[in-house]
């Protein structure tokens, strides 16, 4: 009798101790899972949103090495104070709440990974009215629902729903959907790391470099906001701290002394001898130039080769269109097929140059369209260093000939294997200075990459080029990782069917299963 009592007592004690240990383990794991360092080491969150890019890690390392202190103040809108009278307002509040939550999580990681170099201060709009107002006045913050990044006396304000997120707004003119479904604003992309790290980098640099886009050569539109212009590039340069201008050398006959970078995009006319001399003199005095050409099918003479300018810098621009075979899943053993898609080139980046190294490390491959080949001349002038390895094609690129009739481009493909090879479509020419030690740099791109339609995927390369030319190494990077919000859109009929399934069929099936098990046990 006593032995049975001891056995029962020991058994219950073991169960109790096991439960206590399990609870302790669960509490310990919960606490550890909430720590930013552990979240980054073992990040199972959607799209690993607690994990930094290597570029942000390098940035924080640099901040610590320079002995700087980053202060980040948050001024969130108290969502309880927003009148929520309609379904649309409730949905908008949900979007804002999601952005605030993601930002708070991200700032915890910044603070943890900063190791004392980053301090985050959250202000409560409802409880700290006076303190919050004084801090906003000190930082000259003008927006609600924002954060302010500060280094010393320099500040940058970021608006949560504009700078840190891309929001998909419904089209008010769209026709009604089947089932009467209503569409609301939703969070499409959270780009907090990109925005905050870019703000930190911009605060680390001093001065305002001036970029002058040349006019008068039948070039592409720069500032006008149309689909085939470069207005997004101009806007991104302004956001990165550049001053953007337009310059007509035929009128000024010189490059102003305060201009740091001269750029010419998609010209259709050759440089005059006088303008070429102006650019060469600019390079010899430490100036920086970007030349971005493209290919035009017709008219044929809209493909300037800049032979006079290039010959004095040791390179030439081909007149033919560069094409590359496109992989076809229907022919897995073949190198690819030709066609109109061959005009889009997936570039191979130089893995060591400062412009492309961050992109290569991140596995990014910018695309160029309607490109022409860049070639090194056998005879190079003294004091000129040509490197055309910045951007290259894959191994199956060829030069498309023009048809004898009409002069249009033949896209049918290479005639034999001897015509395919790796082609250069991006390079850098360094020019030794006449006086001083500041080299001139010319970046040449053979195809279209930064037009508005492609800027979203190639914008990092564009900004890296301009920041490197401006000697702002802190800003040469990739712009962080983005959290893509995923949401399943259901119409009213689908919602009702799911409710019926979960409210009736699933419980009914479980009840039926329980009755069957009960009946089988009674029968046995």
The C-alpha atoms of residue 22 and residue 74 are separated, in whole angstroms, by: 38
Question: Is 226 found in the same domain as 115?
Answer: no
In a domain, 84, yes or no: yes
Q: Are residues 260 and 176 in the same domain?
A: no
Give me the sign of the Cα torsion angle 445, 211, 238, 140.
positive
**Does one domain contain both 111 and 198?**
yes
215 and 195 within one domain: no
| 169: confidence class by pLDDT, cuts 50, 70, 90 | confident
Q: How confident is the model at residue 119 (pLDDT cuts 50, 70, 90)?
A: very high
Q: What is the pLDDT of residues 448-472, one digit of tens each?
A: 999 998 898 899 899 999 999 998 8
For residues 278 and 249, is the Cβ–Cβ distance under 8 A?
yes
Decide if pLDDT at 4 tops 60.
Answer: yes
Question: What confidence category does residue 110 fall into, taking pLDDT thresholds of 50, 70 and 90?
Answer: very high
**Per-residue pLDDT tens digits for 319-346:** 999 999 998 888 888 888 898 999 999 9
| pLDDT over 60 at 364, yes or no | yes
Q: Answer yes or no: is 6 within a domain.
A: no
For residues 113 and 190, membership in a common domain is answered with yes
Average pLDDT (303-314) is 95
Position 485 scores a pLDDT of 52
For the chain, first and last CA: distance in Å? 33
Within this chain, do residues 192 and 250 fall inside the same structural domain, yes or no?
A: no
Q: Which domain holds residue 260?
A: 207-471
Tell whether 153 and 302 lie within a shared domain.
no
Note whether 431 and 439 are within 8 A (CB). yes
Please say which residue of 202, 223, 246 terminates a domain: 202
CB 417, CB 435: distance < 8 Å:
no
Q: Is the pLDDT of residue 50 over 70?
A: no
> Is the pLDDT confidence value at 41 over 60?
no
Please give the average per-residue pLDDT across 53-82, as a whole number: 86
Q: Distances in Å between the alpha carbon of 183 and those of 99, 173, 178, 488? A: 19, 12, 12, 12
**pLDDT at position 347 over 60:** yes
Cα 51 to Cα 58: distance, rounded to the nearest angstrom:
14
Q: Could you tell me which of 113, 112, 137, 114 has the C-alpha nearest to residue 123?
A: 137
Residue at 102 is within a domain: yes
Alpha-carbon gap, residue 166 to 4, rounded angstroms: 68
Tally of structural domains, the chain: 2
**Same domain, residue pair 149 and 272:** no
**How distant, in Å, are the alpha carbons of 169, 366, 491 from that of 182?**
12, 38, 8
Average of per-residue pLDDT across 230-251:
92
Kind of pairing between the strands at 367-369 and 371-376: unpaired
Answer yes or no: do 332 and 435 share one domain: yes
Cα torsion 113, 115, 118, 120: sign: positive
Average pLDDT value for the chain: 85
Q: Is 166 exposed, middle or buried (0-12, 13-18, 19+ CB in 10 A)?
A: middle
Answer with the one of 161, 183, 202 that is the final residue of a domain: 202
Mean pLDDT of 97-124: 92
pLDDT score, position 48: 47
How far apart (Å, rounded) are the C-alpha atoms in residues 227 and 314?
35
47-61, 82-96, 508-522: which has the highest mean pLDDT?
Answer: 508-522
CATH of the domain at 236: 3.40.50
| Contacts for 6-14: CB closer than 8 Å, 24+ residues apart | none
Q: Which residues pair with 267 in a beta bridge?
A: none
Residue 42, pLDDT score: 47
The percentage of residues in the chain with a pLDDT greater than 70, rounded to a whole number, is 86
Query: Residue 505 gets which letter from DSSP?
Result: I
H or E element, residue 265: strand 261-265
Based on the domain organization, do 44 and 166 belong to the same domain? yes
Reported pTM:
0.69
Are 120 and 70 in contact by the 8 Å Cβ rule? The answer is: no
Quote the pLDDT of residue 43.
46
Q: Tell me what pLDDT residue 374 has.
A: 98
**Angle of helix 192-204 relative to helix 87-114, nearest 10 degrees?**
50
Comparing 387 with 187, the larger pLDDT belongs to 387
For residue 316, give the 3-state DSSP assignment. strand
Q: Is residue 23 part of a domain?
A: no
């Amino acid at each position: 009798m006593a032995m049975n009592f001891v056995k029962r007592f020991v058994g219950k004690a073991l169960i109790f101790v096991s439960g206590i240990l399990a609870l302790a383990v669960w509490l310990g794991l919960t606490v550890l899972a909430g720590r930013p360092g552990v979240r980054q080491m073992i990040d199972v969150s959607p799209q690993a949103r607690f994990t930094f890019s290597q570029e942000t890690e390098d940035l924080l390392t640099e901040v610590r090495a320079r002995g700087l202190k980053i202060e980040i103040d948050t001024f969130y809108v108290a969502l309880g104070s927003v009148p929520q009278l309609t379904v649309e307002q409730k949905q908008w509040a949900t979007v804002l709440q999601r952005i605030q939550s993601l930002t708070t999580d991200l700032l915890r990681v910044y603070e943890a990974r900063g190791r004392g170099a980053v301090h985050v201060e959250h202000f409560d709009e409802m409880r700290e009215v006076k303190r919050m107002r004084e801090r906003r006045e000190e930082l000259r913050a003008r927006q609600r629902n924002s954060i302010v990044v500060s280094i010393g006396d320099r500040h940058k304000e970021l608006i949560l729903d504009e700078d840190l997120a891309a929001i998909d707004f419904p089209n008010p003119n769209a026709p009604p959907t089947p089932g009467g479904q209503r569409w609301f604003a939703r969070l499409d992309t959270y780009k907090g790391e990109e925005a905050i790290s870019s703000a930190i980098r911009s605060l680390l640099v001093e001065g305002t470099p001036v970029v002058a886009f040349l006019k008068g050569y039948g070039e592409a539109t720069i500032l006008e906001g149309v689909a085939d212009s470069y207005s997004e590039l101009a806007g991104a340069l302004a956001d990165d701290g550049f001053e953007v201008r337009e310059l007509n050398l035929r009128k000024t006959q010189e490059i102003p002394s305060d201009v740091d970078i001269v750029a010419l995009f998609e010209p259709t006319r050759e440089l005059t001898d006088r303008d070429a001399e102006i650019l060469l003199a600019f390079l010899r005095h430490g100036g920086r130039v970007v030349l971005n050409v493209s290919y035009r099918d017709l008219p044929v003479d809209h493909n300037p080769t800049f032979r006079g300018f290039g010959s004095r810098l040791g390179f030439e621009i081909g007149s033919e269109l560069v094409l590359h075979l496109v992989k076809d899943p229907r022919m897995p053993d073949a190198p690819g097929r030709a066609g109109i898609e061959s005009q889009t080139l997936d570039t191979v980046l130089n893995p060591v140059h400062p412009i492309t190294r961050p992109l290569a490390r991140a596995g990014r491959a910018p695309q160029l369209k309607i490109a022409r080949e860049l070639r090194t001349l056998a005879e190079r002038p003294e004091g000129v260093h040509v490197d055309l390895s910045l951007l290259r094609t894959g191994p199956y690129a060829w030069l498309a000939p023009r048809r004898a009739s009409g002069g249009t481009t033949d896209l049918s493909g290479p005639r034999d294997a001897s015509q395919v090879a790796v082609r250069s479509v991006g390079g850098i020419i360094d020019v030794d200075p006449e006086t001083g030690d500041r080299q001139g740099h010319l970046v040449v791109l053979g195809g279209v990459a930064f037009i508005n339609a492609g800027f979203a995927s190639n914008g990092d390369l564009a900004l890296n080029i301009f920041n490197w030319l401006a000697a702002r190494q802190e800003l040469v990077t990739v712009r962080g990782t983005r959290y893509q919000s995923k949401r399943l859109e259901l119409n009213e009929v689908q919602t009702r069917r799911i409710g019926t399934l979960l409210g009736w069929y699933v419980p009914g099936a479980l009840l039926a299963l329980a009755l069957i098990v009960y009946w089988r046990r009674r029968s046995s």
